[in-house]
Amino acid sequence: MAATVLLGPYVSEYYYLATYTILQFIVLGTAWNILGGYGGYVNFGTAGFFAIGCYTTIVLNKIFPMPLFFEMLAAAVTAGLVGLGTGYLTLRLRGVFFSIATLALAIVLQTLVVNWSFVGGARGVYVIRPPISGVLMAFFGFFVPNGISYVQFLVVLMVALTMFAVLAAWAVEKSWIGIGLAAIRDDESAAETSGVPSLRLKLIATTMSGAIMGMAGAPFPYYVTYVDPATAFGLAIAVNSIAMPLVGGTATWWGPVVGAILLGSAQQILTVTISSAANLFIVGVLLVVFLTAAPRGVVGIVRSWKRGRK
């Protein structure tokens, strides 16, 4: 975090924008993996939860401007509740129905937003960045005498969120929640008859996953200053949040991180050189290639290599 701030005046704004995007994907991929990788339940509606975060900020900003931190909390609560609700209604069915339901949820939410003029409907809405609070400015003033730009502030915020998300995933993985989820993923009935409260654990995972995705979405309106449903609910979010953990490896917390850095950086480079549609195409191809040839992702490759050396 210190490095980001210190480098501030010396590095072009572009790198900050790229870093923000990659960090955002680390958060989304990590959140997705809590339910997907650990629990085995695939969420196709990441974009929906991300958009809940975006639009919570937009709505709150219009009604009653407040520090971004509180907007993020509100986003976490809203998205978490939606995750809980969806889970409660569908997690008792087969995993595949949960997945289809998450897809349905994303589309239903998108349709609602498109038809809601308060947040701009299909045309989208412009958002004015609020000033950074005095307290924070003073805090950063210690490190950087000239003060920091808004984008730099957002990047720092994202770094904090990323650390929080990864820490949460690590904590879940090592705890009884993670072990229970692993048992559920391997064989849900056997897990139940071994005493694992599967519905409860699945709901915890879904709620946490949704809440973190919402938090990732909350600063987005201030980052882009213009939000329309096509972007907030976009394909890029949907496919990346699945491809990055699967390419990186779903078994452990650092898989999504590696996947996000690899795929995210690749996309940043490719977008500059070719079109953004082409680079999403490559993400899709990489996803399918990894699923077929290296289903355990980079994590799996590294672990096999280590075992080979013993």
Partner 1 sequence: MTANILEATGITKRFDGFAALTSVDFALLKGERVGLIGPNGSGKSTFVNCITGILAPDEGSITFDANDITKTPAWLRARRGLARTYQIPRPFRGMTIQENIEVPLRFAVGHKSARVISEAAQVILDEVGLGEKADLSPKGLTQVELRKLELGRALAARPKVLIADEVMAGLSESEVDEILALLNRLNAEGISILLIEHIMRAVMLFSQRIVVIVAGCKIADGLPDDVMQQEEVERAYLGE
Partner 2 sequence: MEFSWDLVINAIVTGIVLGGFYAAVAIGVTIAFGMLDIVNIAHPAFMIAGAYLAFLGWEDFGFDPFVSMAVFAPCGYLFGRAFYRAYHYFFERRGDESLQGLAFFFGILFIVEIGVVLVFGVDYRSISEPYLESSVSVGFVSVPWRMLVPFLVGLGMLGSVHLYLSRTFTGRTILAVSQDVEAVRLIGANPIRAKEIAFGIAVATAIIAGVLLIIIQPVEPSITREYIGRAFAICVLGGIASIPGTLVASLILGVAEALTTTFYGPSWSPAVSFGLLLLTLIFRPVGIFGR
Stretch that binds partner 2, among 41-49, 67-75, 156-164, 188-196 (CB under 8 A): 41-49
Instruction: Quote the distance between the C-alpha of residue 161 and its chain's center.
Output: 10
Task: Tell me: does residue 234 bind partner 2 (CB under 8 A).
Answer: no
What's the number of CA atoms in the CB half-sphere (13 Å) around residue 310?
A: 5
Taking CB under 8 A as the criterion, which residues in 248-287 touch partner 2? Answer: 250, 277-278, 280-281, 284-285, 287
Taking CB under 8 A as the criterion, which residues in 82-101 touch partner 2? Answer: 89-90, 93, 95-97, 99-101
Residue carrying structure tokens 């960090």: 23
CB of 221 to partner 2, least distance (A): 22
| Cβ–Cβ < 8 Å for 22, 265 | yes
Q: What does the alpha-carbon distance between residue 298 and residue 304 come to, in Å, rounded to a whole number?
A: 10
Tokens standing for residue 237: 């979010």
Which of left, alpha, beta for 147 (phi over 0: left; psi -120 to 50: alpha)? left
Q: What does the alpha-carbon distance between residue 236 and residue 29 come to, in Å, rounded to a whole number?
A: 12
Residue 198 touches which of partner 2, partner 1, none (CB < 5 to 8 A by kind)?
partner 1
Of residues 93 and 167, the one with the C-beta less far from partner 2: 93
Stretch that binds partner 2, among 127-135, 163-171, 174-182, 291-299 (CB under 8 A): 291-299
Long-range own/partner contacts, residues 290-295 (CB < 8 A, 24 or more apart): 290/246, 290/247, 291/246
Number of residues that bind partner 2 (CB under 8 A): 44
Task: Tell me: does residue 111 bind partner 2 (CB under 8 A).
Answer: yes
Closest C-alpha to 144, from 284, 4, 304, 287: 4
Binding site for partner 1 (CB under 8 A): 176, 179-180, 182-183, 185-187, 189-199, 251
Q: What does the alpha-carbon distance between residue 64 and residue 46 come to, in Å, rounded to a whole number?
A: 27
Task: Tell me: does residue 171 bind partner 2 (CB under 8 A).
Answer: no
CB of 174 to partner 1, least distance (A): 10
User: Which chain residues interact with partner 2 by CB under 8 A?
Assistant: 36-37, 40-42, 44, 89-90, 93, 95-97, 99-101, 103-105, 107-108, 110-112, 114-115, 122, 185, 235, 239, 242-243, 246, 250, 277-278, 280-281, 284-285, 287-288, 291-292, 295
